[in-house]
Amino acid sequence: MATKRFKSKIDRWFVLLLVVLIVTEIVAIGAAAIQAGDPLATTGLILTAIAVAALLVWLMLGTHYTVDRGILRIVSGPLRWKVTIDQITSVEATKSPLSSPALSLDRIRIRYGKKRRIMVSPADKAGFLKAIGHDVSS
């Protein structure tokens, strides 16, 4: 079976939320840097702003799911999960807003192993389900 990679579906409201967070963070840290009056503190605050913005962008652009040789690899920015496909016990549709490597509320909850679960939101839901060999239960 060839390696299959699936991008995360991204809700427009999520993109808007990230943009608002990045702009708010830059404005707040910029104001704090101006008030600091200390070049070293200002540099630290600016570097912090850049790091936080980069992390948020990395999460948004770097969330994807790969199925290869019986393994589902889930990547969300710097975070990584590995799920053996034969350990998957159920797959169900959900709109849960709980934290997960999914950039849309149109999600799939995957239960695997002993009481483990993770939610994903592949843009190509049908292709993803075919690749992991499961159907969604409602």
Domain, as residue range, for 101:
1-138
Share of the chain above pLDDT 90, in %: 62
Q: How many domains in the chain? A: 1
The CATH number given to whatever domain includes residue 115 is 2.30.29
Average pLDDT, integer, range 61-71: 96
pLDDT of 138 strictly over 60: no
Residue 24 token pair: 């708010």
The mean predicted confidence, pLDDT, of the chain is 90
Give φ, ψ of 107 to 5 degrees: -115, 165
The string over 94-116, giving b where at least 16 C-beta atoms fall within 10 Å of a residue's C-beta and e elsewhere, is beeeeebbbbbeebbbbebeeee
Sorting pLDDT into bands at 50, 70 and 90, what band is 35? confident
Residue pair 21/15 in contact by the 8 Å Cβ criterion: no
Q: What is the pTM of this model?
A: 0.85
What pLDDT does 137 receive? 67
Q: Note whether 112 and 87 are within 8 A (CB).
A: yes
What are the strands, taking DSSP E only, across the chain?
4-7, 63-68, 71-76, 79-84, 88-94, 107-112, 116-120
pLDDT band at residue 106 under the 50/70/90 scheme: very high
What are the pLDDT digits (tens) for 107-128? 999 999 999 999 999 999 999 9
Confidence tier at 66 by pLDDT (50, 70, 90): very high
